[in-house]
Every structure is written in structure tokens, then in C-alpha cells.
Homo-oligomer: A and B are copies of this chain.
Amino acid sequence: MAEPADLDVLGIGNALVDVLSQADDELVARLGLVKGTMSLVDEARAQELYEAMGPGVEISGGSAANTIVGVASFGGRVQYVGKVRDDQLGEVFGHDLRSTGVLYDTPRATDGPPTGRCLILVTPDAQRTMGTFLGASVRLGPGDIDGRLIARARILYLEGYLFDPPAAQEAFRAAAALAHAAGRKVALTLSDPFCVDRHRKAFLDLLEHHIDILFANEAEICALYQVPDFDAAMQQIVGHCEIAALTRSAKGSVLVGDGKTHVIEAHPVRSVLDSTGAGDLYASGVLYGLSRGLDLASCGRLGSLAAAEVISHVGARPMVPLAGIAGSVVQ
């Protein structure tokens, strides 16, 4: 290995700004959205949704970007790769990453669609229903992947959503190959059950050959293997990757690896205000723990802790330094 591993995690994902708005179930239904899921929308549909939404709050998002910010919050050294445009929301996205200690220097697109955004309807049950306009994210391509950078990170973290824009899918494959060539670990999150439906064959192939660490929630892993229940899906994953971290909302999570299975409790939360980012931040805790060589159960507890912090307030990124509270779950 020519490059020192001076980064804990390098994340690649669709760079998005979230637009969060309170909504009732009636609005979600009237807009033809499926509650709790993410659907891709084009610019015209995004405009239509936005006009129907109440007043919003803009806050930097993007699944892998949220995760990377969470790793930084634990004290990890991290970098992010994702594409915005040279517009106001693009500036906001870059500022919010850098100001949390994340290295970020992906060149901004100077033409084409504006910075991508994720329109999020938060219902009174704290669920989020998302319409994503990928915008400039679709301009991420293999040219944005730097082999030397990838070789420097212990873990490369990729989001399943990256499979939606074709050029980003190429970037994904190139990055995974470069990481393995450098002897690094590759982690994937399945992102969303609909995303799994769109790319099942590719994801199954990736798991067989290119992924060391898998993140998925119950709906995603069941969608992947097209089985009706969690245990059946969990039995399937064994042997197809080194580590699988499977989340189950309030029921906690199950981590499979080292020939063992760990069942980890959800961290207690006073009240759930907005579940946006729960999975993203669970991944932060696990990735930070793995990059620092912690045992799998401790990694799971760090994940539960970070998820609990992020669902106890509005927004998908931590509001307190996770490094300051990590001591409560690991020695």
C-alpha cells in the first residue's frame, strides 16, 4: 500500500439540500407519494411538490453526506465526494460540510441542472416522505474519482442511491475497484426499498463480489432477497459479505460478522421528532467504530446512539458532538 491510511472513511453520494416541511397524511396521499419512502422526481415534479408544500427549512442533506458528518462528529477523519452546482444551494451544501470538519473539494458543475434537493414531508408520526430531484448530482462521474484519495481511507462508504444517476453508477464501480486494489474495505448502504427494487440485480452482484460491509434496514434487506420477513433475509446475507448491519427502527439492530450475530437495542429516545437521518447516523457510529477497530457490538451501540441523537430533533445531522456522548456506550 503506497498511501498511508490517514482517513477513517471516505463517503461518496448524491449531494442534496433537504427542504423539510411539516405535512399531514392527507397531503402526502394527495400528492401521490408513498409514506416513508423516497421517490425520484424530475425538475417539473419537484416544482409541483414544492408549491404544494408548506413553509420549509433548508438544511444540507444527502444520505452519505449525513453519515460522513456523523463520523466527523465522533472524531473521525473523513472526506466526502459529491456534486453540486455553482449556485446558492451548492454553496450552502459545501459550507455545511466543511464547517463540521469534513474535507470536501469535488469540483462544482458550472452548467446543467441546479444543486439537487430532497423535498421532505414530515408527518406528525415523525416519518419522512421524500421526493428527490437529483439535479447536479447526476453530473458526478468517474472523472471525480481519485485513486490516491480512495487509497488513503480505511473504509470507502457508498450509498445505493448512487446507482440512480448512470454516470454516478460508473463512479461507484470505479471507486469500489480502486479501494479493493488498495486493500481497503468497501461499505454500501441499500438506501431505500424502492432503490433496491430499481437495482436488485446489480446490488446482489455487488454483495457477491465487491462489498465488505452492508447497511440495510428491514424493508431494504427484505426487498433485496424478496422475502417476507426479517429473519429469512438475515439468513440469506450470511456469507455474502464480511459484515452486515441491519437496522429495525425501535426494535434495534442486528449485526452479523466474525461468525457471530449481535442483537443490539435501540438507544432510548425521549421523543422522536423527525426520523430523517436515523439510518444515515446509525451507519456513522458503526463506521467510526470499525475504522477504530472496535468490536462489532460496540460498533452497533455507537450506531444506535447516533441514530437516537438525530431523531430527537428536526434535521438529519447531529446537533451535539457525538464524541462527547460516545463514552456512555463504549469504554
Contact = CB atoms under 8 A, between A and B. Distances in A.
Q: Tell me which of A55, A114, A317 has the highest count of chain B C-beta atoms within 10 A of its own C-beta.
A: A55
A281 to B, nearest CB: 14
Contacts of A115: 88
Interface stretch (A7-15, A32-40, A89-97, A260-268): A89-97
A55 B68 CA distance: 14
Given A22-B319, A95-B50, A55 B100 contact: yes
Nearest to A87: B88
A57 interface: yes
Nearest to A59: B57
Nearest to A90: B88
A22 B100 CA distance: 12
B57 A99 contact: no
A315 B88 contact: no
A56 B51 CA distance: 24
Chain A's interface size range is 20 to 34
Contacts of A69: 55
Interface string A122-166: 000000000000000000000000000000000000000000000
A173 B246 CA distance: 64
A59 B58 contact: yes
A54 interface: yes
Interface string A79-114: 000000001110010011001100000000000001
A298 interface: no
A41 to B, nearest CB: 16
Contacts of A92: 56, 58
A6 to B, nearest CB: 24
A60 interface: yes
A53 interface: yes
A107 B107 CA distance: 34
Contacts of A57: 57-59, 315
Contacts of A89: 88
Interface in A313-327: 314-315, 317, 319
A317 B55 contact: yes
Contacts of A59: 56-58
B99 A53 contact: yes
B88 A114 contact: yes
A89 B115 CA distance: 13
A99 B55 CA distance: 6
Q: Which of A51, A89, A95, A314 has the most CB of B within 10 A?
A: A95
A55 B60 contact: yes
Interface string A41-55: 000000000110111
Given A53-B99, A87-B88, 15 more contacts: A51-B99, A53-B95, A54-B99, A55-B60, A55-B69, A55-B96, A55-B100, A55-B317, A56-B59, A56-B92, A56-B96, A57-B57, A58-B59, A88-B89, A314-B314
Q: Sort A-B residue pairs by CB-CB distance and give the 7 closest, nearest first.
A: A58-B58, A55-B96, A88-B88, A57-B59, A54-B99, A55-B99, A88-B89
